[in-house]
Amino acid sequence: MSLLDIADLTLSFKGLSGLTEVLHGISLSIAPGEKVALVGESGSGKSVTARIVLGLLQEQKTARIGGTVRFAGQDLAALSPRDREGLRGTEISMIFQDPTSYLNPVFTIGRQFAEVLRRRDPGLARAACEARAIEMLAETAIPDPARVLGSYPFQLSGGMNQRVMIAMALANHPRLLIADEPGTALDVTVQAQTLKLMRQLVDLHETAVLFISHNLGVVREFADRVYVIYRGRIVEDGPTAAVFGDPRHAYTQALMAAVPRITGDGLPDVPEVSEAFLAPKVHHRLRSGRAT
Amino acid sequence: MKRAIRILSRNPLSALGLGLVVLIVLAALLAPWIAPYPDHNGAVVDFLNNNKPPSARNWMGTDLVGRDIFSRILYAYQTSLVLAVVVLAIATPIGTVVGLIAGYLGGWTETILMRVVDVFLSIPPLVLALAMMGVLKPTLTNAMLAVTAMWWPWYARLVYSIARSEREEGYVLAAEVIGAGTTHIAFREILPNCLPAIITKMTLDMGFVIIIASSLSFLGLGVQPPTPDLGSMVAEGANYLPDSWWLTVFPGLAILIAVFGFNLLGDGLRDVLGVDR
């Protein structure tokens, strides 16, 4: 059974000029411990999908959501807002783009860490929180965890904050980790280090990951399976090797062609919109890797 | 804390402000012991020495019924400080809660709360206080009430604007993602980020509240005689200018020094609390 099962999810926002459709029926599933990437350009609907899985958009009055999202067999729409809130931070957690701005500037790392730990275990004593935090930070290869716990986010480097955020996100042993373009705000080398670290940790804890990104290189290294999303539709999906080795959909091909090469052939020419981008979805089967 | 003192002392003007504020607070606290004529804070009459210019016996002269003006200024500081502290202690939490809720929740709550705030802000503050004092009896308690009623909307406005921008910060989303509730996010995540601005405004406002309270008593609507008050002392002496200048000038200077001190200190605090952000 899959951990996360999204079936025919639609989303539209009610505005002054009527409904704006954002998602046109996307389907996606993640097995326990599986690393799945959702790739697409900005505005394609990646981040709103994450927010629906977290149950944050359901609370917004202007959002109209259709289809079903099942987490561990439970239909999120059938849960009460309180139960949905209960999943966040315990069963599902999230890592963000810019680690520094996602930590509250007025509290020390230690205090924020304790808050995260008390999400699952409200009565946890301060010393226990600290011990657990140090253990988690040590796992992320932070050299001096005790010092980091006493620091404020602005006293640490971006890479350090990213590690802190990874440690916090995994502290409660969630079953699903949503990574929304993690480390995009960091420089390339630091990004590579933290991603490698994140992969080791999710493998260790057998956490499933929904990896949201527009960075194809990172996705190729990180994910087991890939979904390519374009304008609120999944256009191609399959095992990472199959999709990268043999992109069939016109949009996927354009996306791959758009990656600037380090060899310096100049910026690639990508059409803004093409009829072919709206072609039906291409599905690569798991074993054969052949497109259907 | 050490760093705060260092920054304050590096800026001579804020150090001066801090010095003045400490001096005023000490003067008010120690008034019964340091005042040359401690009994002159009440309805004492000494017609042998009335309306005397400053001398070695009365450093700032005596008023129309012969009371020592220096002693009365020390006691008047007590009244002013108590009033300012009480007003801010009530107005700040009210304004903060209103602003925080409006800023974080948005929607209808924001519209209703902030329109109420706008209504209060649209009436000139002194006029509102005058109207209230006209209806109520002019006592110290009612003066506090009137000044509080005109003061809280400014805090609501300040906190609202900060909360509005903090709401969009990443850490708020991060808190929502780990399942934190509305109250927790508003009071435990956003409020601490508003505190530097609130504390700075409170310090600056100490001076302004003193001015407003003095204005009320200058008009006879604030603290009533024989309780010494800087505003009513200025008012009493105003009829005898310029001949008996000491009746007005010294209480006036006392107001000036208080406002000046709190303003300089507030500016200094803004620098100290602002650098961390």
Task: Supply the pLDDT for residue A208.
Answer: 92
d(C-alpha B87, C-alpha B144), whole Å: 6
Q: What is the mean pLDDT of chain A?
A: 84
- Structure-token match 């200094």, residue found: B268
d(C-alpha A21, C-alpha B94), whole Å: 42
In Å, what is the CA distance from A128 to each residue of A90, A111, A113, A115, A132?
Answer: 18, 12, 11, 12, 6
CATH superfamily, domain B2-28+69-274, is MetI-like (1.10.3720.10)
**How many Cβ atoms sit within 10 Å of the Cβ of residue B34?**
13
**How many Cβ atoms sit within 10 Å of the Cβ of residue B203?**
22
Q: Is residue A206 part of a domain?
A: yes
Task: Supply the pLDDT for residue B97.
Answer: 93
Measured between its terminal Cα atoms, the distance across chain B in Å is 16
A57 pLDDT higher than 50? yes
Is any Cβ of chain B less than 8 angstroms from the Cβ of A111?
no
Residue ranges per structural domain of chain B: 2-28+69-274
What CATH number is given to the structural domain containing A235?
Answer: 3.40.50.300
Crossing angle of helices B12-29 and B2-10, in 10° steps, is: 110
Q: Is residue A291 part of a domain?
A: no
Record the tokens describing residue B29, joined without a space: 């606290």
Q: Is residue A277 part of a domain?
A: yes
Is any Cβ of chain B less than 8 angstroms from the Cβ of A41?
no
**What's the DSSP call for residue B41?**
G
Length of chain B in residues, anyone? 277
Residues of chain B with pLDDT under 50: 275-277
**ipTM rounded to 2 decimals:** 0.72
Which residue of A lies nearest to B178 if distances are taken between CA atoms?
A: A89
Tell me the pLDDT tens digit for each residue of A206-254: 899 999 988 888 888 888 999 999 888 888 888 988 888 888 888 888 8
d(C-alpha A200, C-alpha B10), whole Å: 50
Domain that residue A67 falls in = 4-283
Tell me the pLDDT tens digit for each residue of A117-171: 888 888 888 888 888 889 888 888 888 888 899 899 888 888 888 889 888 888 8
Which residues of chain B neighbour A50 with C-beta distances below 8 Å? none
What is the tally of structural domains in chain A? Answer: 1
Is any Cβ of chain A less than 8 angstroms from the Cβ of B178?
yes
Q: What is the pTM of this model?
A: 0.76
Record the tokens describing residue A277, joined without a space: 């981008």
d(C-alpha A118, C-alpha A135), whole Å: 16
Q: Is residue A102 part of a domain?
A: yes
**What's the DSSP call for residue B68?**
B
User: Is B177 close to A85, i.e. CB distance below 8 A?
Assistant: no
Q: Choose the closest CB to A88 out of B179, B193, B276.
A: B179
Give the closest-approach CA distance of A287 to chain B in angstroms.
35
Q: Is residue A154 part of a domain?
A: yes
**What's the DSSP call for residue A89?**
T
Task: Supply the pLDDT for residue A23.
Answer: 87
